[in-house]
Structure 1
Amino acid sequence: MAVPQRISFITLGARDLPRLRAFYAAWGWEELPGGEEDFAQYQAGGVRMALYPVELLGGEAAPGQAPPPPGGWNGITLAVNVGTAADVDAVHRAALAAGAVLISAPVRREWGGRSGYVADPEGNRWEIAWLPGLVLPPE
């Protein structure tokens, strides 16, 4: 049997889970029922995203290893794709208004689309992007 070609769940290790929870609420994301003090989850299209304390997540996924330093980039980006190039700018502004940190303003990319980057309060990088030809699932 091969590994299924899909991503089902993304879990972000949180240093300050209440702060991240408030940040994603300010983005307009609705938390799914069943959350606890140390766990929150959101339906993001066909993928579920969770927030979980970084030390507990590290105990499962990286036993004996230190987490990445606070505020530094961990080498991973997440993306929210939108329907038009103009939507990139509007959603990028909305993310900043919700408390995201500017990483790079939206620009036309060499691959033909448009995107810009923001970071959540713990440094997780989010690309706000439009990719020509990408068919987005219904919300």
Structure 2
Amino acid sequence: MAEAPGLAIPYLTVGSALDAIAFYREAFGAQETFKMMAEDGRRVLYARLVIGTGIVMLSDDFPEFGSGAIAPVPGARACVSIALTLARAANVDATFARALAAGAVGEMMPADMFWGDRFAALSDPFGHRWMLSAPQG
């Protein structure tokens, strides 16, 4: 029997990691646990954030390296979504409102879904799509 894999953690590439860290702190209550700046002193080479019980890693785009992910274009359709599971349905509405106030764009207003969750979707200012969900009731 194969050994179970480890935890899947999203690694986001953004156009301005310092701004993204500030946004994730304000919108989702992220806590920065590690940050390493690039040699230029302006870009983040690597950062680790804790959001709830999950981890998100991120960095600035480094096109000069010629490999790796590129930052998405804000306003364009995202090819991946990050799901943020919350404890209570009311938290979906509150987190959605806080993210919009911080600069996110709402894609789907909070609503009760047929599968039993309160659900909403938004795009952050850096081109990443977030889905918020919690059990109804």
Q: Same fold (TM over 0.5)?
A: yes
Matched, 1:31 2:32: yes
Q: Any unmatched runs of 5+ in structure 1?
A: 62-66, 134-139
Aligned to 1:43: 50
The amino acid across from 1:70 in the alignment is V
Q: CA deviation at 1:126?
A: 0.8
Q: CA deviation at 1:131?
A: 3.0
Matched, 1:106 2:110: yes
Higher fraction of strand: 2
User: Which of 73, 76, 80 is matched with 1:70 structurally?
Assistant: 73
Cα gap change, 1:14/1:2 in structure 2, threshold over 3 Å: closer, same or farther? farther
The amino acid across from 1:23 in the alignment is F
The amino acid across from 1:51 in the alignment is L
Q: CA deviation at 1:34?
A: 4.2
What do residues 34-58 of structure 1 show as CA deviations (whole Å, max 9, x unaligned)?
4324222112355421111234687
Cα gap change, 1:55/1:33 in structure 2, threshold over 3 Å: closer, same or farther? closer
Structure 1 vs Structure 2 CA RMSD:
2.7
Please say which of residues 45-54 and 91-100 is displaced more in the overlay. Answer: 45-54
TM-score normalized by the length of structure 1: 0.74
Secondary structure of the structure 1 residue equivalent to 2:33: coil
Q: How far, CA to CA, are the matches of 1:107 and 1:58 in structure 2? A: 42
Aligned to 1:119: 123
Secondary structure of the structure 2 residue equivalent to 1:32: strand
Q: CA deviation at 1:68?
A: 6.9
The amino acid across from 1:30 in the alignment is Q
TM-score normalized by the length of structure 2: 0.75
Moved over 4 A (4+): none
Q: How far, CA to CA, are the matches of 1:15 and 1:110 in structure 2? A: 36
Q: How far, CA to CA, are the matches of 1:35 and 1:87 in structure 2? A: 32
Q: Any unmatched runs of 5+ in structure 2?
A: 38-42
The amino acid across from 1:40 in the alignment is A
Q: How far, CA to CA, are the matches of 1:83 and 1:122 in structure 2? A: 26
